[in-house]
Chains A and B, each alone.
Chain A
Amino acid sequence: MAVSVGEAVSTGPVRDHTPPARRFGGRGRSVLEVALLAVLAVVMLFPVLWMIETSIKENRDVYAIPAKFFDFKVTMDHFKDVFFASGGGRSALSVSFLNSVVVAGVSTVLATVLGVPAAWAYSRFAVKAKKDQLFFILSTRFMPPVVVVIPIFLMYRQVGLIDTKLGLILIYTAFNVPFTIWMMKGFVDEVPAEYEDAAMLDGYTRLQAFWRFTLPLLLPGIAATAVFALIFSWNEFVFAIFLTSSDTVRTAPPAIAGLIGGTTVDWGLVAAASVVFALPVLVFAYLVRKHLVAGVTLGAVRR
C-alpha cells in the first residue's frame, strides 16, 4: 500500500515533454520567445516589486516625481508601524492580523471536518440525485457575496452574530465547505475503493476501513485543500466589511482598506501592510503548488 496520494494525484504543469519546436524553429525564434516571456514576466511582477519597494521607502521618496526606482534611502519604519502603534503598544493593524488568523484558522478547520467526510461519502456511495446535490453544493459557492450578505445580515441580527468573529467564521465555513467537498471528492475518487473492500473482507467495518486505510492516504490532499480554504478566508473582504465594524473583530482586509480615506494617505504603510499580509498566502500557495489547478477551480478541474 505504498501509493502516495500526493504523487498519484499531482500533475500540475511540471510534466516534461521536449518542445517539438526546437527542431524546426531554430535559434532566433527561441530567443524571441524567451524575450517575450521575460517581458511578460516583468510586466506581471512589476507591481509586486513596486509594492515591496514602496514599503521600504521614506514617504518623501514615495511621492517623488519622476518615480525613484533605485536611488532611495531604505527604511523599515513602515513595517514597524504595521505592528506597533505610534504611542507604543500594539497597532490596530496588528490586532486585525490576529483576528484574521483566528477567523481564517477556525473556519478552515471547521470546513475540513465537515467537508472531508461528506466528500468521502459522495465519492463512495450511490446517493440519489448525486449530481443535483453536487450541483447544489457548488452553486452555493458561486453566489455573489454582496447578494448573500443581505439575508445573512438579517439572519445574524436576529441571533446576535453581527460584528462577531463567530459570525465571520460561520459564513467563511459555509463558503469553504462546498470547495472542500468538491476538491476532496477528487482526491477520494483516486484512492481505489478496493482498499476498503479488502479491509472489510478482513472484518473491518466500512467506517474503520475509511479511518484506517483511506484517511491516511488522503492526508496530503486534505492539507492542500485546507490551505486553499485558508487562503480564501484570509483574503476575503466583502463579508468582513459588511458584517463587522469594531476594531476587536475587524480582520485584516478591511483594516488595510481603511488605511486610505483619512486625512492623509501613507502609501508606505499601505504597502508594508500589504506585504506582511500577502506573505503567508504566498508561502502557503508555494507549499501546495502541485494542487494549484484543482485548488483554484474549486476542485473541479484536476489535471
Chain B
Amino acid sequence: MRYPKRVGRLSVPRRTVRLATAAMLVATTMAACGQDDGEKASAPKAPATIPELTKDPLTLSFIWFDWPPAHALETFANAEYAKERSNVTIKVNTVPNANWHDAIFTQFAARKTDFDIPILDSQHIGEAVTNGNILDITDFVKKNIDVKAYNPYLLAAYGQFPQAETGKRDENASLYGLPLLGDTWTMIYRKDLIGDEPPQTWDEMISVAEKCQADNPGVSGLAFHQANGSDAAAVTYNTVNGVYGGNLWDPKTRKIDGVLNDAAGQEAMDVLVNKMKPLTATGSGNWFIDEVNAAVAQGKACIAFNWIAASGGLLDPKQSTLGTTREQILDKLGFATLPSQKTNLVPLGGMGMHVSAYSSEPNQAEALNFMKWFERADIQKKWAAAGGVPSRTDALESPEFLNAGPFNQVYTDSVPRMRDMWNVPEYARLVDIENTNVNAALNGAKKPKDALDDIAKEQQGVLDSSGRKGGGGL
C-alpha cells in the first residue's frame, strides 16, 4: 500500500496494547459480574393479595406477536379496564411471529423487560420458570381466582409447571400464569364442494379430500401448516400423532426415543407424508397460518386446518373470493372440530399471561389486578364478545361467545379433547428439531421414517445433555 512519506513518530500500537489489556480485564470482571445475577434459578413469588395500587398514571405493557387478537386485546382492555382503573393505559407491544420467543427471552436474559405481562406460548413456561423470569402466582391464584370455574386442563396448560399429565391438573403444582386466549385447530371445509356434513374420522377426511381434489381441478384437497419456522410443522405432526394414538414422550422417565417413534408414531408420520401431503398444493411446503388462510380465501382448498384465533380474516369479503358478504362466504365455508381416529385429541393452542419478574412493583401489582379483573365472569364474556377466546367454562358456554363467530362452538367442543406439547425448559430446541425434520419429510428432503427417528434421537439428546461438557445446543 502506498503511504505518504511523512515524518512523525509515535507509538499508537503500545497504546493499543495497553487498551486491549484493559479491555480484557474489564471483560473478565464484567463477565464475572454477569454470572452472579442468576444464581438461584427459581421464580420469585407474587404476593397472595394484590398490593395497594397506584393512583398515578401508569402504562401496563404486554408483549405478543402481531396478529388480530393482539390488537383486539389492546382495544378491549383500554375500553373496559379503564372503566375501573382510569389512570391505567394498556399497551400491547407486538413483534413478528418468527421473532416472538427471541424477543421475549432476550429481554428476560437482559434481566430488564419493557413489558409487564409477557404473553408466552404455553410451552415456553418451563424455560421462563427455570430461569426465574416470571412470578410464581400460586398463592395469588388460590386467594383471588375461582379455579373451579375452569376446565382444569386449561389452567394447567397455561400456568402450571412442571407440566400436567394430559388433561389433568396437579392441585399441588405451582402456577405461573393464567389463560388469556384459548385456541385449538378447527377444520375448515367447503360445504359447496364436500357437502354440509364434515368428515368424522381422519381416514374419512382424507378420502373426502382426495375425491374433492379429483372432482375440482385447481382446488387441492388439503391445506395445513408445513413451515419449518415457529412451531408450524411440529404442531401438524403432533396432531396426527395424537389422533393415531401416539405419544410425544414419557414425562416420568423423560424418554422420547422409543416413545415418539413407536408404531403409532410411525403410522402417524406415514399418514402425514404419504397420504395427506400428496393432497396439498404444489409448493405448500413452507405454509403457515397466513398461507393456509390465503388458500382458503382464494378458494383453493377443500379442507384446511388452522388455529381458530387466526381464522377471523376468512370471513372478511375484502380478502376473499368466496363471496361478497359474510353470509355468502359462510354458505361455502364450514367449521368443525377435528375428525378423530384412534383418539379424539386436538392440539392445544393459545397463550397465557404471566408477570415479568423484572417489572417495577407498582406495575406488578397492576398486572395482578388486571389478571384478577380479566378472569371475572362478566369480563370473560365481554372478551368473548370482543373477539377473544375466553377460558372460563361459563363464558365458553355463553351466547356472547358462541354467537361471536362460526368457529367458537368448535372451540367449546374441543376443550375436553386437548393435548399440549412438552413445556420443559428445552422446549425451543425440541420444537426446532421437530419442525425442521417434519418439514424435511414433508418436502422430500428426508424419508419419513428417518425423519421421525432423527427427531426422537436428537430430542432425547437434548433432554439428556444436562450433564454434558461443552458443545451444548448443537
Contact = CB atoms under 8 A, between A and B. Distances in A.
Interface of A: 59-60, 63, 92, 123-134, 153-158, 160, 162-163, 189, 193, 241-242, 245-247, 254, 257-258, 260-265
Interface stretch (B97-105, B378-386, B390-398, B436-444): B97-105
Contacts of B298: 63
Contact of A131 (B1, B96, B310): B1
A160 B294 contact: no
A117 B102 CA distance: 39
Contacts of A242: 102, 106
A262 B66 contact: yes
A247 B111 contact: no
A245 B118 CA distance: 13
Contacts of A63: 294, 298
B112 A157 contact: yes
A220 B42 CA distance: 59
Nearest to B91: A247
Nearest to B109: A157
Contacts of B93: 245-247
B7 interface: yes
Nearest to A60: B321
A265 B294 contact: yes
A162 B99 CA distance: 15
A154 B294 CA distance: 40
B146 to A, nearest CB: 32
Contacts of B368: none
A241 B101 CA distance: 12
B290 A265 contact: yes
B294 A162 contact: no
Contacts of A157: 109-112
B22 interface: no
A245 B109 contact: no
Contacts, number: 121
B13 A128 contact: yes
A158 B321 CA distance: 52
Given A158-B34, A262-B66, A262-B67, A125 B289 contact: no
A173 to B, nearest CB: 18
Nearest to B14: A128
B8 interface: yes
A124 B310 CA distance: 63
B8 A125 contact: yes
B96 A263 contact: no
Nearest to A85: B71
Contacts of A128: 9-13
Contacts of A189: 2, 4
A250 B112 CA distance: 17
27 contacts: A123-B3, A124-B6, A125-B10, A127-B8, A128-B10, A128-B13, A129-B12, A130-B3, A131-B1, A132-B13, A153-B110, A156-B110, A157-B111, A162-B106, A162-B107, A193-B4, A241-B99, A242-B106, A245-B63, A245-B93, A246-B93, A247-B94, A261-B98, A261-B229, A262-B97, A263-B68, A265-B294
Q: In the complex, which of the residues A124, A163, A254 has the most CB atoms of chain B within 10 Å of its own CB atom?
A: A163
Nearest to B4: A193
A123 B10 CA distance: 15
Interface in B1-56: 1-13, 16, 30-31, 33-34
A248 to B, nearest CB: 9
Contacts of A261: 65-66, 96-98, 229, 288-290
Contact of A263 (B10, B33, B310): B310
Given A257-B96, A258-B66, A258-B96, 15 more contacts: A124-B6, A128-B10, A128-B12, A129-B12, A132-B13, A154-B34, A156-B110, A157-B110, A158-B33, A162-B106, A189-B2, A262-B66, A263-B68, A263-B289, A265-B291
Contacts of B114: 163, 245-246
